[in-house]
Amino acid sequence: MGGKLSSWRDRDGDILETGLHSFFGGYDSLHALMRDAGIAHHVLWQPHTLTFAMPPGFSNRVGAQAVFEEFHFVDAPSPFNGVGAVLNAKYVFNAFEKLLFATGTLPILLGDHGYASRQDDITYSEWHRRRRMSEHMLATFFAPMALALNFTPVDKISAEAMLRVMAYFASSKNASRAGFLDGPPVDRLIDPIAEHCRSLGQTIEKDARVAELLFSDNRCVGARCTDGRVFHADSVILATPVHDAARLLPAEMLRDPLVHGVGKLTSSPIINGHFWFDRPISKRSNLIFGAGTLLPVHADLGQASAGYEWRGKSFIEVCIAPADDLIKLDDDAIVDRVMTDMHKLYPLATKESLVKAKLVRVPKSVYRASPGAERLRPGARTPVANLFLAGCYTNHKFPASIEGAVRSARHAADGVLEFAGARS
């Protein structure tokens, strides 16, 4: 259970995770689920600030020391709270760039959602240049944001995917505020949600890997597991990652326009790095976007959360991206490269202060939001009336995320209820 939001312990008892996860303020469906399960208090909200780090010499605006630019969201209704944060930036943007940013992103800030959908054929960097926004802003601000969002560089990610995130950040006052769980996700989120489901009379089968879906009379009647067990069902929700769904759906079904994207979407590789230090190497507990480094998004969970059991010292968790080429290297080579970049941002991060480093590779993580991919995301419905799709790759008008996964589940559950209602 847990999937991409999983955690476990290594031989030393230290916590490993599939990925560093931040929970944003605008994750309405997720927070509603957490409230239902009585676990909303497990989110530790950070100050409403987006921090972008730049290594020394990264640009002519950065001197011999790393710069941490903090975008403080001002106390105003959205999107003015975000506009105010950008206008107050000290290093990343000069006055002219701020003006270009304001005019460039105007259609998004004004809430024209149709505008974003029309930009799926081009990459974000193409869109950025067409809007005449600055190269410096692309490198310092949007490049780490794209890597954090989809583990995909700005010259490969769809403009629509990025614009949707900007629209989301501008959608409500607290949408961009980040929080972390107060401990590993299996303890704080996954097991409690499973317990909540059991308390409602549901049964959960762990270690039940589906080998094949069973069909009869154009209905999905259940699933056969790899261990031979068969489960019968009135309705089925297939909630696997997209590459597993492509394997489990019958080949002829994948030709249907409703679900043809399942066979065509690809996935982004990512490496989640865990770095334990014998001292505090940073003073920050918030989410950090690291421009021009292999640490595009990282956080010091030692400082942020006692539940990560590294209190008073630094435990840096980092999504190492882009990982397309790096993932083929051995662990030592990857750790060396990340440590070189980490040292540039945090001079106290050295081989001497590093206690240990562990990597978790996810060769196929979230669907890759390349140009054209948004149109391929299927809805919950399939050509079979009682078979539904869920998962962060489906089309719920939200990026691949925990919130997207919960939204997709709600769409699929609505489909099941509608099907059951239609039959009764």
Ligand X SMILES: Cc1cc2nc3c(=O)[nH]c(=O)nc-3n(C[C@H](O)[C@H](O)[C@H](O)COP(=O)(O)OP(=O)(O)OC[C@H]3O[C@@H](n4cnc5c(N)ncnc54)[C@H](O)[C@@H]3O)c2cc1C
- Residues forming contacts to ligand X in the complex (CB under 6 A) are 3-5, 18-22, 209-210, 239-241, 244, 270, 272, 319, 362, 365-366, 391-392, 400-405
* DSSP H or E run through 340: helix 331-345
What is the smallest separation between the CB atom of 72 and ligand X, expressed in angstroms? 21
* Residue 418 to residue 237: CA distance in whole angstroms: 13
Residue 389: name the closest of 400, 378, 374 by CA.
378
* Omega prior to 296 cis, within 30 of 0: no
User: For residues 62 and 165, which CB has a smaller minimum distance to ligand X in the complex?
Assistant: 165
- What is the sign of the dihedral through the CA atoms of 21, 180, 407 and 80? negative
* DSSP H or E run through 44: strand 43-45
User: For residues 27 and 127, which CB has a smaller minimum distance to ligand X in the complex?
Assistant: 27
* Residue 372 to residue 162: CA distance in whole angstroms: 13
- Can you read off the two tokens belonging to residue 376? 């391929």
What is the smallest separation between the CB atom of 262 and ligand X, expressed in angstroms? 13
What is the smallest separation between the CB atom of 409 and ligand X, expressed in angstroms? 8
What is the smallest separation between the CB atom of 399 and ligand X, expressed in angstroms? 8
User: For residues 98 and 164, which CB has a smaller minimum distance to ligand X in the complex?
Assistant: 164
Question: Residue 380: helix, strand or coil by DSSP?
Answer: coil
Helix axis angle for 28-36 and 402-423, nearest 10°, is 70
* Residue 56 to residue 60: CA distance in whole angstroms: 10
What is the smallest separation between the CB atom of 321 and ligand X, expressed in angstroms? 9
User: For residues 83 and 362, which CB has a smaller minimum distance to ligand X in the complex?
Assistant: 362
Whether the Cβ atoms of residue 317 and residue 290 lie closer than 8 Å to each other: no
What is the smallest separation between the CB atom of 45 and ligand X, expressed in angstroms? 14
User: For residues 163 and 405, which CB has a smaller minimum distance to ligand X in the complex?
Assistant: 405
User: For residues 133 and 189, which CB has a smaller minimum distance to ligand X in the complex?
Assistant: 189
Phi-psi region of 201 (alpha: psi -120 to 50; beta: other; left: phi over 0): left
What is the smallest separation between the CB atom of 350 and ligand X, expressed in angstroms? 25
- What is the sign of the dihedral through the CA atoms of 301, 307, 309 and 313? positive
What is the smallest separation between the CB atom of 5 and ligand X, expressed in angstroms? 4
User: For residues 7 and 240, which CB has a smaller minimum distance to ligand X in the complex?
Assistant: 240
Amino acid identity of 240?
Answer: T
User: For residues 93 and 398, which CB has a smaller minimum distance to ligand X in the complex?
Assistant: 398
Q: Enumerate residues 6+ apart whose C-beta is below 8 A from 294.
A: 318, 320, 321, 326, 337, 338, 341
Whether the Cβ atoms of residue 354 and residue 275 lie closer than 8 Å to each other: yes
User: For residues 108 and 400, which CB has a smaller minimum distance to ligand X in the complex?
Assistant: 400
What is the smallest separation between the CB atom of 242 and ligand X, expressed in angstroms? 9
